[in-house]
Amino acid sequence: MLKPSFRDLLKSSLRSILKNKSRTILTSLGIIIGVTSVILLTSIGNGLKSYVTKQFDALGANSIFISPGKIFNDNGGFSQSSMATAMTTTFTKKDLNLLDRKLKNTVVMPVNATYADVKSTYAIKKSIEIDGSTEEYGKSNNVVPSEGNGRWFTNEEDNKKTPVVVLGYKIAQTLFPKSTAIGKKVIIKGKTLKVIGVVDQKGASFGGPSVDDAVYAPFSVVSDLAGNDNINTFVVRAPNKDLINDTKKSITKIMLEKYDSDAFSVFDSSQLLTSINSIISVLTIALTGIAAISLIVGGVGIMNIMLVSVTERTREIGLRKAIGAYPRAILIQFLIEAIILSCFGGLVGVILGSLGALAINSFFPAEITISSVILAFAVSSAVGIIFGVAPARKASKLSPIEALRYE
């Protein structure tokens, strides 16, 4: 049987820690900072990942994109070269017809994007991306206005070059702050267009343009605005998820008839998602690794204080031994103290990190995961054990009479 019992040891360790409150807090500070930053960084990493995933889900799961230039390198990351090709190459109506004719059971949607100022009677928004596409694009990209918010444009309007636009939520708010935008007029490049719908709010975006900031119009209308009928991107909707890869192969074959292999890219949202997530993962791991260094520094801090504590309490150790404490009892007592210090630090760190992640989440995506909390806490306790052993061993090996004589 362990004498004293674990509970007795725990009690006496807790008592000694509580007797030195400021020392306890200062000692744990290193661990607190380490655990807090590990949790914060992993939360931000996870938040970013799920944010990106959500954004891509909104793009439509069965969508395949054909873009100019080589976007991906062979390892699945983003390609560094061919940005120039991406800027200069555009697709044409002929490509659209070719794809339409050769692909079965799919919908091919051309997208022509141009940048222009958008004016209303109330306000002006500068350099807004105006995407021209077809009726199917709305459904496929999940941007059809919900009931009461107007409608998406039709293919008939596309054919007739009817000057209509669908506005993103934020743009509509800015241009028509006082009343509904639907039925109102906007002016783009001197042309007057009628607002027929407002896309539902899709949420905050970081960096790039979001659906909330977009303006959509029929392809033919945007061609007129842009002064060309180039196609920047094709969106191809595959019949179902299982056929995505087959469809991609067919598209590549068709496109290769006309273009070099590095003049275009065929990808689906999952591919893009994988690439972006792998970048986020690497960043998260690197940043968390840096944060973890502070955990080790915290451990060294605990070892330092415990060694001082052993020296400070040499006489106490001597006395305990003189009245019957065997070496293991002293070892365990000091080890428990070190573990309590680091667990306390870990616990405070988990609380601070979680609160911090919740606070950050209001303006930047952050998501606390149980696994990161458990990991941070486990590492901090392990640090306590590892760095507590040396001082505890030193204490347990002291000879009783020398310890008692220590001044």
Q: State yes or no: residue 323 binds other proteins (CB under 8 A).
A: yes
Identify the three-state secondary structure at position 67: strand
What residues from 169 to 208 belong to the interface with other proteins (CB under 8 A)? Answer: none
- Minimum gap (Å) between residue 365 Cβ and other proteins: 49
C-beta closer to other proteins: residue 18 or 370 = 18
Q: Which two tokens stand for residue 305?
A: 């204080």
* Nearest approach, Cβ of residue 334 and other proteins (Å): 15
Region from 4-12, 159-167, 211-219, 223-231 binding other proteins, contact rule CB under 8 A? 4-12
Query: Is residue 6 part of the contact set for other proteins (CB under 8 A)?
Result: no
In the complex with other proteins, the residue whose CB is nearer, 239 or 400, is: 400
Token reading at 176: 């028509």
Residue 319 CB, shortest distance to other proteins, in Å, is: 4
- 17-56 residues in contact with other proteins (CB under 8 A) are 19
Classified as helix, coil or strand, 28 is helix
Does position 315 interact with other proteins (CB under 8 A)? The reply is yes
Question: In which element (H, E) is residue 323 found?
Answer: none
Nearer to other proteins, 57 or 312 (CB): 312
Q: Report d(CA 33, CA 28) in Å as an integer.
A: 9
Q: Tell me how crowded residue 50 is: count the other CB atoms within 10 A of its CB.
A: 14
**For residue 34, which of 326, 378, 402, 404 has the smallest C-alpha distance?**
378
Place of tokens 């306590």: 384
Binding-residue pattern over the window 387 to 406 for other proteins, x denoting contact by CB under 8 A: ------------xxx--x--
Cα separation of 24 and 305, whole Å? 9
Go through 19-30 and write b for each residue having 16 or more CB atoms within 10 A of its CB, e for each that does not: eeeeebeebbeb
Nearer to other proteins, 12 or 361 (CB): 12
What are the angstrom distances between the C-alpha of 334 and each of 20, 154, 306, 382?
A: 15, 77, 8, 15
Report, in Å, the least distance between residue 5 CB and other proteins: 8
Interaction site with other proteins (CB under 8 A):
1, 3-4, 8, 12, 19, 315-316, 318-329, 399-401, 404
